Amino acid sequence: METLQNILQDGESTVAASRMPGSFLDKLDEEIDLAGGEWDEDEAFIGSIGRTMYDLPTSKDNTVTVLLSAENIGKLPSQSLVRIKSRSKDRGGDGRQYIGAVVQGPFAEPDGLRADAPLVVTTTVRGAHFMPRYHGRVQVEIIGEEFGKTVVPPQFRPLPNSPVFALDQQETANQLRTSGDVTLGLAVGYEDMWF
């Protein structure tokens, strides 16, 4: 099989490549089957918008850092509520569920680099043509652990790499107990959630 080659002709660069042999795809399918089949996301993570991170020496009690993909940064505004499903027991976890509130962020951070790295700063100052990919980060304060419909003070923390789900407006209203006869104000981040 020929390899990819750059060939210069009359000052122009052209690319010549050969076709892959037909047996390559058969071999690839065979390797995928040997590895257990095509990759599917774990059911526990379907619908999640982020995952909890490992704790650092600067971590604080009752807070956890949540990392988000770039496309999910806008789905988790400040003060919004989340449900964190600590990894299930069959995955080496404890299976606990927590309710938390975003107390810091969302922040955007470059992937694999510090945000104040000279490369990032220089690129930004010079017109930001070659900016690195990025992800989001929020700090979530744990409100409590869920036991059925009851939320109690947490005794533990969610484990690293636990899925995080944004609560929709109805779930948020239920958690905040916004029903009643007296209107106190508008919930931050919601246009029509009065309590």
Q: Which two tokens stand for residue 171?
A: 């779930």
Residue with tokens 């999640």: 48
Paired tokens of 147? 């036991």
| Tokens representing residue 159 in the block | 């484990």
Residues 167 and 174: their CA atoms lie apart, in Å, by: 10
pTM assigned to the model: 0.69
CA distance 19 to 2: 8
Q: How far apart are CA 120 and CA 112, in angstroms?
A: 11
pLDDT in tens, 111-149: 888 888 888 888 878 776 777 888 999 999 999 998 888
> What is the per-residue DSSP string for 146-169?
EETTEEE--SS-PPTT-EEEE--H
For 76-124, write each residue's pLDDT tens digit.
888 899 999 987 666 666 788 999 999 998 998 888 888 888 888 888 7
